[in-house]
Amino acid sequence: MRLMKNIWLIAIILGFWACKKPKEVDGPLVTEFYGPFNLVEGFKASADTFSFNNTQANHFTAKFNRSADWKITIKGLQSGAVKEIVGSSKVIDFNNSVWNGSTTFIPVFKSENCEATFTVEDEGVLIKDTVFIKTVKPVDQGLVIADFETNNPGFFIDYSSDGDTIRVESAPLKAPYGKQYFLMQGYDKNGDTYLGQLGIEAKDVISSDTVFKTSTKAPSELYFNLLVYGFNKPSILKIQFGEDENNNKITDNKTEDVYAKSVTVDWVGWKVVSIKYSETTIDNASATGNKKQEPDKIGIVSFIHLTTAVKGKAAYAFDYMIFTTGKPFQP
Ligand SMILES: [Ca+2]
Ligand SMILES: [Ca+2]
Ligand SMILES: [Ca+2]
């Protein structure tokens, strides 16, 4: 009995001692984030030549003495295509800098020489390397709903009283796909921020279709993508998806769901915008729809042109609208 008591006493003392042991530091030390910045290993591409038609992990490498916010900008010297990769780390390797040949700012890359610029802005670091693209990335597949190469007579267009410019154009911008793109441009004269909208119905795309034949029923698997040109004039692009829940060839926003997502277009140039259907929110909450996102029941996609401020100006252009499954479209 006495022995048992002693064992318990020893166990309790050991327990206290274990609790009092100095705790090991969790995560990086403060000096990992502050203090002088040094390059331990310079920036370079993982190979002189990149091919994007295989599973080879084309990436970049560099090492620093501590964590920093960095950016790699790859520019096609012939096409003018630009890809940006950003990160925050002390090592750059295949874990955070793989490039699959996709483009951040259109046009897309060709088989060409590229200049890769590595910057750590806060530290005044700027290093360049070159890489040659031997084989370009294959084009992502999906359901294209508009490329504006015909004048799309079936599309629904609404102008506000302000008279937004809303039409297919072929100049002065260079379309990212084909020769034509769609322009929306205007001034909010009446102070409601609304300028106009374009609606594309499934039957405009394929006359026998009443809903877009997307290949999934899972809201987290469906992406709607389009290329958007920003003019350095902050503008809002609100994209609405109207569902035809009862399959009667009409998307009725009083009795069926409308989901939406707004994007502030605040960049310059052509850039891909991707919307995951599960990240849209209900836009007609007071209607009597079933409040369930149904990617296989989308009958209309609408593009609503809004200013960021009352009586403001807004402008953007778009092209190549495509539904993809499983992952966003990457030009
Ligand atoms: Ca086009
Ligand atoms: Ca309906
Ligand atoms: Ca629904």
What pLDDT, in 10s, does the model give residues 220-233?
Answer: 999 999 999 999 88
- For 86, 136, 140, 201, 220, the CA distances from 327, given in Å and listed in that order, are 20, 19, 10, 23, 10
Tell me which ligand sits closest to the C-alpha of residue 176.
Answer: 1
Q: What was the pLDDT predicted at 35?
A: 75
Q: What was the pLDDT predicted at 58?
A: 95
- Kindly report, residue by residue over 298-323, the tens digit of the pLDDT: 999 999 999 999 999 999 999 999 99
Tell me which ligand sits closest to the C-alpha of residue 170.
Answer: 1
Q: How many whole angstroms from 257 Cα to the centroid of ligand 3?
A: 5
For the chain, the structural domain boundaries read 30-135, 143-325
Q: How many whole angstroms from 236 Cα to the centroid of ligand 2?
A: 28
Q: How many whole angstroms from 148 Cα to the centroid of ligand 2?
A: 27
Tell me which ligand sits closest to the C-alpha of residue 319.
Answer: 1
Tell me which ligand sits closest to the C-alpha of residue 254.
Answer: 2
For the chain, the average pLDDT equals 88
Q: How many whole angstroms from 259 Cα to the centroid of ligand 3?
A: 9
Q: What was the pLDDT predicted at 208?
A: 80
- Kindly report, residue by residue over 231-283, the tens digit of the pLDDT: 988 999 999 999 999 989 899 999 999 999 999 999 999 999 999 999 999 99
Tell me which ligand sits closest to the C-alpha of residue 253.
Answer: 2
d(CA 69, CA 67): 7
Tell me which ligand sits closest to the C-alpha of residue 247.
Answer: 2
Tell me which ligand sits closest to the C-alpha of residue 259.
Answer: 3
- What is the topology classification, in CATH, of domain 143-325? Jelly Rolls (2.60.120)
Stated pTM of the model: 0.75
CATH tag for 30-135 (out of 2.60.40.770, 3.30.720.110, 2.60.40.1930, 2.102.10.10): 2.60.40.1930
- For 210, 290, 297, 325, the CA distances from 278, given in Å and listed in that order, are 22, 15, 14, 12
d(CA 115, CA 213): 41
pLDDT above 70 for 97: yes
CA 240, distance to chain mean position in Å, is: 17
Q: How many whole angstroms from 226 Cα to the centroid of ligand 2?
A: 26
Tell me which ligand sits closest to the C-alpha of residue 246.
Answer: 2
Tell me which ligand sits closest to the C-alpha of residue 255.
Answer: 2
Three-state secondary structure call for residue 242 = strand
Task: Identify which of 251, 169, 163 has the alpha carbon closest to the alpha carbon of residue 202.
Answer: 251
Give residue for tokens 């705790």.
23
Q: How many whole angstroms from 188 Cα to the centroid of ligand 1?
A: 27
Radius of gyration of the chain (CA): 27
User: Between residues 219 and 203, which one has the greater pLDDT?
Assistant: 219
Q: How many whole angstroms from 166 Cα to the centroid of ligand 1?
A: 15
- Kindly report, residue by residue over 20-50, the tens digit of the pLDDT: 444 444 555 555 556 788 899 999 999 999 9
Residue 148, number of CB atoms within 10 A of its CB: 24
Q: How many whole angstroms from 295 Cα to the centroid of ligand 2?
A: 14
Q: Do domains 30-135 and 143-325 have the same CATH topology?
A: no
